[in-house]
């Protein structure tokens, strides 16, 4: 259908008859228009492109754009138009969000009714047949998290994303997940704002601010330590020395690297770096996954509608985790208490955050007046 429509639109400008095998049309001006599929995207490699239109982008493999099509445009400073119907919060969603933030990109969103090709009666009829999420996705151009069992349900971009800057008055924290590909960690600050009354009742008034993420593909502990030192070094040098609370996976205590554990390797890397004074707050065992997740959700937004966890927009992998990580279904489709890890990029950076949140803000806090708090 697309090939027939393309021929009809370009017929007045043909230089010669279209190539029915190659699906290409040479125009009188010397330009060539061609239809290509993105299933075997490696086969698209070739000469540079001036303009490309990608339809049904949500069904494309991300590498078709990043590794093949974009480099072909770069040779000629070409442009691209992405078209599609939302399908969850995957590649197309990421592109759309990026386009809203970059000055040289533009993002547009239209409903089926805006298109004018489907009657209002048909749209209303479909609304009666579809669940709310599916209708919003298919007819209103809305990006919906269609995965069942979304884990970080309390996350809201409008509420939890805001630019964050380093403040010397706040505690500096570093929290790590020791996955290899990617190896992830977060640079965080905790801003204490509690009152004496809250402390007496066993409540901690504080805000968590995620300043930056370190997500290194196919990496190792030495590289992630070097990247932390590069980012935090200027803050330490400004004061001469800075204290850092360190959190992370208790499994890193196991000896796996030539007799040294992951945490021992971190200590060894910074042994002679006087800019940092580390306070390791790593438990002997990790908390249950659901306890950790509940603690994070409570900080994202509690039952009173209060957000106490804010993330810098540059932390893209953490935001993707918040929006895409879900519980793993069993063979019968029932949700389990395990995270779905079929996407190797997901869960690791949010795991790192969860270790810190659960250690500092566990949901099951001791309530009632605290005798050790002095007025």
- State the pLDDT at residue 375: 38
Does a structural domain hold residue 206?
A: yes
Does a structural domain hold residue 148?
A: no
- Residue 331, SS3 per DSSP: coil
- State the pLDDT at residue 121: 85
Average pLDDT, the chain: 84
Structural tokens at position 229: 């030192």
Which helix H or strand E contains 206, and what residues bound it?
Answer: strand 206-216
- Examine the domain organization and report whether 208 and 161 are in the same domain: yes
Which of 163-172, 184-193, 211-220, 245-254 bottoms out in mean pLDDT, i.e. has the lowest? 245-254
Structural tokens at position 90: 């995957």
In this model, does residue 368 exceed pLDDT 50?
Answer: no
- Examine the domain organization and report whether 207 and 259 are in the same domain: yes
What pLDDT, in 10s, does the model give residues 53-102?
988 888 888 888 888 888 888 888 889 999 888 877 778 888 888 888 88
- Examine the domain organization and report whether 211 and 347 are in the same domain: yes
Q: In this structure, what DSSP letter does residue 64 have?
A: I
Closest CA relative to residue 205, chosen from 195, 214, 215, 217: 195
Task: Say what percent of the chain tops pLDDT 90.
Answer: 31
- Give the alpha-carbon dihedral of 125, 129, 131, 134, to 10 degrees: -70
- State the pLDDT at residue 232: 94
- State the pLDDT at residue 240: 87
Task: Say what percent of the chain tops pLDDT 70.
Answer: 88
- Examine the domain organization and report whether 351 and 279 are in the same domain: yes
- State the pLDDT at residue 352: 94
CB neighbour list of residue 216: distance below 8 Å, 6 or more residues apart: 182, 183, 184, 223, 224, 227
- State the pLDDT at residue 256: 60
In this model, does residue 236 exceed pLDDT 60?
Answer: yes
- Examine the domain organization and report whether 126 and 191 are in the same domain: no
Place of tokens 């021929």: 7
In this model, does residue 361 exceed pLDDT 50?
Answer: yes
What pLDDT, in 10s, does the model give residues 29-42?
988 998 888 888 88
- State the pLDDT at residue 260: 77
Q: Last residue of a domain, which of 92, 115, 140? A: 140
- State the pLDDT at residue 366: 44
Average pLDDT over residues 317-329: 89
- Examine the domain organization and report whether 319 and 255 are in the same domain: yes
- State the pLDDT at residue 147: 58
Does a structural domain hold residue 292?
A: yes
Which of 21-30, 256-265, 364-373 bottoms out in mean pLDDT, i.e. has the lowest? 364-373
- State the pLDDT at residue 365: 47
Which helix H or strand E contains 129, and what residues bound it?
Answer: helix 120-129
Contact at 8 Å (CB) between 209 and 161? no
pTM of the predicted protein model: 0.66
- Examine the domain organization and report whether 356 and 219 are in the same domain: yes
> What CATH number is associated with residue 245?
3.30.420.280
CA dist 76 → 42, 47, 70, 201 (Å): 19, 10, 10, 65
- Examine the domain organization and report whether 132 and 165 are in the same domain: no
Q: Last residue of a domain, which of 140, 175, 190? A: 140
C-alpha 71 chain-centroid distance? 24
Does a structural domain hold residue 152?
A: no
- State the pLDDT at residue 372: 44
- Examine the domain organization and report whether 119 and 84 are in the same domain: yes
Does a structural domain hold residue 253?
A: yes
Most confident of 89-93, 146-150, 203-207, 342-346: 342-346
What pLDDT, in 10s, does the model give residues 253-297?
775 656 778 899 999 999 998 999 999 999 888 888 888 888 898
CB neighbour list of residue 358: distance below 8 Å, 6 or more residues apart: 287, 291, 292, 295, 296
Closest CA relative to residue 187, chosen from 224, 239, 157: 224
Higher pLDDT, 327 or 227: 227
Confidence of residue 201 (pLDDT cuts 50, 70, 90): low
- Examine the domain organization and report whether 174 and 69 are in the same domain: no
Does a structural domain hold residue 371?
A: no
Closest CA relative to residue 190, chosen from 174, 179, 214, 178: 174
- Examine the domain organization and report whether 257 and 351 are in the same domain: yes
CA distance 213 to 366: 31
- Examine the domain organization and report whether 294 and 342 are in the same domain: yes
CA Rg, the chain, in Å? 26
Range of the domain at 76: 2-140
Does a structural domain hold residue 238?
A: yes
What pLDDT, in 10s, does the model give residues 138-175?
888 887 765 567 889 889 999 999 999 999 999 999 99
- State the pLDDT at residue 203: 64
How many residues comprise the chain? 375
Confidence of residue 192 (pLDDT cuts 50, 70, 90): confident
Q: How many domains does the structure of the chain reveal?
A: 2
Average pLDDT over residues 182-201: 80
CA terminus-to-terminus distance, the chain = 77
Q: Last residue of a domain, which of 105, 140, 175? A: 140
């Amino acid at each position: 259908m697309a090939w027939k429509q393309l021929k009809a639109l370009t017929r007045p400008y043909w230089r010669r008859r279209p190539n029915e095998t190659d699906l290409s049309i040479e125009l009188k001006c010397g330009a060539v228009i061609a239809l290509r599929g993105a299933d075997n995207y490696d086969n698209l490699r070739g000469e540079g492109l001036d303009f490309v239109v990608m339809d049904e982008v949500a069904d494309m493999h991300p590498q078709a754009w990043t590794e093949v099509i974009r480099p072909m445009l770069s040779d000629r400073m070409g442009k691209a138009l992405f078209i599609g119907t939302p399908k969850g919060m995957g590649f197309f969603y990421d592109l759309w969000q990026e386009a809203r933030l970059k000055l040289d990109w533009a993002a547009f969103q239209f409903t089926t009714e805006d298109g004018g090709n489907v009657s209002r009666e048909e749209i209303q009829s479909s609304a009666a047949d579809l669940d709310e999420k599916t209708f919003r996705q298919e007819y209103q151009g809305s990006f919906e998290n269609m995965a069942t069992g979304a884990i970080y349900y309390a996350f809201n971009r409008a509420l939890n994303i805001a630019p964050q800057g380093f403040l010397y008055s706040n505690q500096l924290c570093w929290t790590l997940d020791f996955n290899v590909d990617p190896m992830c960690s977060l640079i965080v600050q905790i801003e204490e704002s509690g009152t004496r009354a809250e402390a007496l009742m066993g409540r901690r008034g504080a805000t968590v601010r995620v300043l930056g993420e370190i997500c290194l593909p196919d990496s190792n502990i030495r590289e992630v330590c070097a990247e932390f030192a590069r980012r935090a070094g200027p803050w330490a040098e400004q004061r001469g020395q800075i204290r850092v609370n360190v959190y992370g996976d208790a499994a890193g205590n196991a000896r796996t690297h030539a007799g040294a554990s992951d945490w021992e390797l971190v200590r060894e890397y910074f042994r002679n770096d006087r800019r940092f004074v580390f306070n390791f707050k790593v438990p002997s065992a990790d908390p249950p996954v659901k306890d950790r997740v509940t603690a994070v959700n409570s900080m994202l937004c509690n039952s009173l509608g209060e957000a106490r966890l804010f993330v810098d927009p540059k932390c893209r992998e953490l935001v993707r985790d918040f929006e895409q990580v879900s519980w793993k279904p069993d063979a019968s489709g029932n949700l389990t208490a395990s995270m779905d890890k079929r996407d190797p990029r997901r869960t690791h950076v949010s795991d790192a955050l969860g270790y810190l949140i659960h250690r500092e803000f566990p949901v099951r806090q001791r309530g009632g007046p605290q005798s050790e708090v002095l007025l």
